[in-house]
């Protein structure tokens, strides 16, 4: 299902590198100096218990919140990300858990939402439908009727549409927030296969998940956060589930 090839993370240039990121909400220190590296062609899973700082770190990278301190480098150059537009301009795109789809519109319209093909003010329906068909085919996403409203699709198909839409902007890095949380077994498999294809396209993928089975199935590396700090960085293929769980719960210090 997922690609079996070993990753070559040591040689690839890092796409995103965050160092010593902190963020405080009132009395709560959500992030207390977290580091994160994500490379091109690599799926990194970000895991941790509730309140470990996963969401805050992702929000700091996607521009939903501004970090209090710390540095973020993109392609080796220091960047400032304080607004969602900053992240988008760098080529970082986020698929949030609520997917942000318009259920009354069809798949084609949702894929092009906000960036409709047009001539004058008139919609270029044929161009958009062809682009949608080609994009979905290249990702091996099967939707019988791209003119059906999104309300008629399954949860896995909706997730796939949301991910496909993220790709239309030709991003370098995709952040997926709990993409399999609400899905059944078969649909989870579809979405994980899609995540694998993002990697094959050379994208940097950051996957936030609670589900360690999914994490082990698709990720190349697992980064564990605990109480706002890094608690481990593992190569997935060489690490047992027990080791990851121990790092999440704080039973052991993880391998750096």
Give the footprint of other proteins on this chain (CB under 8 A).
Answer: 84, 99-105, 109, 113-116, 118, 121-123, 125-126, 129-130, 133, 145, 148-149, 151-152
**Angle of CA points 151, 156, 63, to nearest 5°:** 90
Min CB(151)–other proteins separation in Å: 7
Closest CA relative to residue 92, chosen from 139, 38, 158, 51? 38
Closest CA relative to residue 79, chosen from 17, 167, 12, 171? 17
Min CB(147)–other proteins separation in Å: 8
Give the SS3 label for residue 240. Answer: coil
Beta strands in the chain (DSSP E): 14-25, 28-39, 42-47, 69-74, 77-79, 92-95, 118-119, 122-123, 173-177, 204-208, 221-226, 229-235
Determine which helix (DSSP H) or strand (DSSP E) holds 44, and give its type and residue range.
Answer: strand 42-47
Closest CA relative to residue 153, chosen from 183, 185, 195, 121? 183
CB-based contact 7:37 (threshold 8 Å): no
Min CB(88)–other proteins separation in Å: 9
123 or 139: CB nearest other proteins: 123
115 or 240: CB nearest other proteins: 115
Min CB(84)–other proteins separation in Å: 8
**Angle of CA points 133, 134, 137, to nearest 5°:** 85
Min CB(121)–other proteins separation in Å: 5
| Rounded Cα gap, residues 251 and 14, in angstroms | 30
Structure tokens, 3: 């690609």
20 or 152: CB nearest other proteins: 152
Closest CA relative to residue 85, chosen from 64, 111, 100? 64
35 or 125: CB nearest other proteins: 125
Q: What are phi and psi of 245, to 5 degrees?
A: -60, -40
7 or 187: CB nearest other proteins: 187
32 or 148: CB nearest other proteins: 148
85 or 240: CB nearest other proteins: 85
Min CB(114)–other proteins separation in Å: 3
| Rounded Cα gap, residues 242 and 58, in angstroms | 25
Min CB(122)–other proteins separation in Å: 6
């Amino acid at each position: 299902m997922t690609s079996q090839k070993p990753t070559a993370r040591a040689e690839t240039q890092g796409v995103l590198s965050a160092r010593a990121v902190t963020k405080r909400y009132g009395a709560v220190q959500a992030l207390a100096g977290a580091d994160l590296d994500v490379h091109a062609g690599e799926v990194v899973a970000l895991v941790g218990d509730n309140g470990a700082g996963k969401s805050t770190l992702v929000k700091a990278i996607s521009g939903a919140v501004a970090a209090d301190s710390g540095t973020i480098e993109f392609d080796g150059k220091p960047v400032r990300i304080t607004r969602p537009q900053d992240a988008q301009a760098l080529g970082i795109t986020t698929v949030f858990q609520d997917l942000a789809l318009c259920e009354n519109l069809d798949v084609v319209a949702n894929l092009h939402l906000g960036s409709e093909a047009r001539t004058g003010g008139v919609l270029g329906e044929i161009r958009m439908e062809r682009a949608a068909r080609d994009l979905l085919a290249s990702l091996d996403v099967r939707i019988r009727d791209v003119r059906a409203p999104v309300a008629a699709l399954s949860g896995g198909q909706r997730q796939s549409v949301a991910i496909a839409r993220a790709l239309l902007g030709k991003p370098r890095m995709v952040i997926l927030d709990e993409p399999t949380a609400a899905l059944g077994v078969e649909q989870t498999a579809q979405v994980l296969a899609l995540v694998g294809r993002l990697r094959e396209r050379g994208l940097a993928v950051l996957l936030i998940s609670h589900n360690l089975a999914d994490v082990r199935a698709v990720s190349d590396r697992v980064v564990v956060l605990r109480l706002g700090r890094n608690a481990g960085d593992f190569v997935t293929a060489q690490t047992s589930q027990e080791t990851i769980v121990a790092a999440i719960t704080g039973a052991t210090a993880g391998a750096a």
